[in-house]
């Protein structure tokens, strides 16, 4: 019997080559792999905060893994800048279809027995809507933190983006997000010496 090779993990490892914020001048580049790691940390934190302080009952570990893979389709599509992705409803709808095709293509790179486990964390399901909302909140927080860090480095390119993203964060109307903003966000504005 011939050996069958699968390329899913090799393909996922290429997340490190896809840079975010392509239309912006960056003081440091950020790959979707780095971004996904940060979103996973933030999503896990939001889930823990919800469970501990706001009587939540969400699966903290599943949320973290979903966040690790939340931009995995961008290995195929690239990171389309937000102003283009959401320019109008037709482009938004078309891009959503492209994302779905990319996710399916990625899942086809797995053995059939593994596909259900990865499909559950890569493709949104109606029963996981609450978890995906937390991942999306963490995604916005990560984008805002990038704006803070760029401004802290003297890059004014991210000022307007930071203001717009902050507005969308408050519109989430999530107690765990507001808790994070109130108790943890200031640390990102500090230098290393100031954190001690």
Average pLDDT in the chain = 92
Residue 79 pLDDT class (50, 70, 90 cuts) = confident
Percent of the chain with pLDDT over 70: 99
Of 8-17, 88-97, 106-115, the range with the lowest mean pLDDT is 88-97
Select from 59, 48, 69 the least CA-distant residue to 139.
Answer: 69
Please tell me the distance from the alpha carbon of residue 95 to that of residue 176, in angstroms, as a whole number: 30
Please state, in angstroms and rounded to a whole number, the distance separating the CA atoms of residues 122 and 176: 23
- Domains of the chain and CATH, by start: 8-195 (1.10.3210.10)
Is the model's pLDDT at 15 over the cut of 80? yes
- pTM for the whole structure: 0.92
pLDDT of 168 reads 94
Q: Is the pLDDT assigned to residue 133 strictly greater than 80?
A: yes
pLDDT tens for residues 102-131?
A: 999 999 999 999 999 999 999 988 899 999
- Say yes or no to pLDDT of 68 above 90: yes
Q: What is the pLDDT of residues 148-188, one digit of tens each?
A: 999 999 999 999 999 999 999 999 999 999 999 999 999 99
């Amino acid at each position: 019997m011939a050996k069958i090779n699968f390329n899913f993990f090799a393909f996922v490892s290429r997340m490190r080559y896809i840079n975010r914020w392509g239309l912006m001048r960056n003081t440091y580049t950020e790959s979707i792999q780095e971004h996904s790691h940060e979103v996973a940390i933030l999503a896990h934190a939001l889930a823990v905060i919800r469970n501990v302080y706001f009587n939540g009952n969400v699966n903290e570990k599943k949320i973290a893994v979903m966040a690790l893979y939340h931009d995995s389709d961008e290995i195929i599509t690239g990171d389309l800048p937000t102003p283009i992705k959401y320019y109008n409803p037709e482009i938004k709808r078309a891009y959503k279809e492209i994302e779905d095709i990319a996710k399916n293509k990625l899942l086809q790179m797995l053995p059939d027995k593994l596909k259900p486990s990865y499909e559950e964390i890569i493709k949104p399901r109606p029963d996981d809507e609450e978890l995906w909302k937390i991942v999306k909140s963490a995604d916005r927080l990560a984008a805002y933190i990038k704006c803070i860090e760029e401004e802290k480095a003297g890059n004014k390119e991210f000022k307007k983006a930071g203001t717009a993203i902050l507005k969308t964060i408050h519109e989430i109307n999530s107690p765990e997000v507001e808790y994070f903003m109130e108790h943890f966000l200031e640390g990102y504005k500090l230098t290393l010496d100031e954190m001690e």
